[in-house]
Amino acid sequence: MTVCNSELRYDFYAPRSLVVQFSELELSSDAGILLARQAEEKEQVCQALAESIEEWRDTNKITHSLHQLVSQRVYQLVGGYEDANDSNQLRYDPIYKIACGRLPLADEELLASQPTMTRLENHVSKREVSKMRSRMVERFIGRYRGVPQEIVLDIDGWDDPTHGEQQLSFFHGYYGQHMYFPVLINEANSGYPVVLQLRAGNSHPGKGVAGILRWLFWRLKRAFPGVRIILRADAGFALPEILQVCERSGVGYAIGYARNAVTERKIAPLLERARLQCIQTGDKARLFDDVYYAASTWTYPRRLVMKAEWLPKGPNPRFVLTNLELPPQVLYDSFYVKRGADSEHRIKELKLGLQADRLSCHSFIANQFRLLLAQAAYILLLAIRQAATGTQFATAQVERLRSMLIQSAARVKVSARRVLVELVAFCPFANELRRITQHLLQPPALALG
């Protein structure tokens, strides 16, 4: 291992000469990766990804198993190291060695380097990616101890700008950039990412979603006969094929709908009442109603919930297509609007907390594999956050979990009988770490739905 012996110069300390230099001890700045490793014991997402990849290497020359390679890459994402080049230094880190099942000995039992990681990313096939997606759904199903009464799914997409020659990176007119257009399906209550699918950059928001949903609904209903599934989505997913998949699968939905000349005529009387109410009170007015509406391409009408809102600055009408039987205002205020905050929050954590938008491989399949690695890292962090129930980290975002819990200093000592990891004496979150570790050792919590 290359050790930096240069000192860091400071001149502000008067009592004595201040010397700051890099240590040659077995130290790590990411002791919290052990929390992620313990979460993997419960979630088994790294194992699921690794088992989906067929071994292609000469068995006599294998140094790092597929499970270890996948685990190392996922733990690096948890630690905030999204670049494969980071493996060149982290392969020496004693905490990452422990997490990957190796002895933390200096210059021995090294983890994989960047070239090995890159070969893995570029070897994964489309068939293996499909298998990984199935395994991730199986892990989601496995989290339930019994049959849930209801599962609410949120779906949303986001723009992922590209800056190279990635396959299927195209210019998107709405966003005004070359990009990918990933889509996320997550369980609403827990935020668990069920499906994370990469799509071409010029895709419509709902492109390819009907097929994914058809397969997902079938898989969930096969595992949980009688479960009630509800899908929430914005207006970009209000496509006839998506509505038909929900209806034929017996799935409830609440999907936003873009206004047009017909819907504006239907809401006009309600909107006029809201305008008059706003003038009388001087405050915004909100009125709700529902009608049955059929677009020209539909074979039958569907229920359309209308929100007629008039603000001091003008009208703000909204529409939601649904087959649920909730009253209009209850459906909109107490159910549908939660989708936006929940989905955007999950996407924000994936992009800013785990750099899931770092899709710089040339191959489209390799970039899809990177998304799956980020999905696995997010699942482990969700497990840590769930284990933090009752502490200040129970609602912490990914970045705060990392800065407060994951990135903590530790010294590692190896003896004939044990591996000792010493944390800092004045850790401000010692009690939280004890509680989280204790919860991670407990059996999985029951149903999320």
> Hey, where are the domains in the chain?
23-124+374-440
pLDDT band at 243 (very low <50, low <70, confident <90, very high): very high
Go through 360-399 and write b for each residue having 16 or more CB atoms within 10 A of its CB, e for each that does not.
ebeebbbbbbbbbbbbbbbbbbbbbbbbbeebebeebbbe
Phi, psi of 307 (to 5 degrees): -110, 115
pTM for this entry: 0.92
Measured CA to CA, the distance from residue 163 to residue 123 in angstroms comes to 22
Measured CA to CA, the distance from residue 59 to residue 306 in angstroms comes to 63
Summarize the confidence of residues 272-278 as an average pLDDT.
Answer: 95
Summarize pLDDT for 39-69 with one digit per residue, the tens: 999 999 999 999 999 999 998 989 999 999 9
Summarize the confidence of residues 368-378 as an average pLDDT.
Answer: 97
419 strand-pairing partners: 414
Question: What rounded mean pLDDT belongs to the chain?
Answer: 92
Strand order in the sheet with 410-414: 27-28, 410-414, 419-423
**Please, what is the Cα angle at 439 between 434 and 440, to 5 degrees?**
100
Q: CA 78 → CA 82, 124, 219, 271, distances in Å? A: 9, 21, 29, 49
Measured CA to CA, the distance from residue 398 to residue 78 in angstroms comes to 9
pLDDT band at 443 (very low <50, low <70, confident <90, very high): low
Judged against a pLDDT cut of 70, whether residue 424 lies above it is answered with yes
Closest CA to 196 of 207, 217, 178, 181: 181
Burial class from Cβ neighbours inside 10 Å (0-12, 13-18, 19+) for residue 425 reads exposed
Measured CA to CA, the distance from residue 366 to residue 35 in angstroms comes to 28
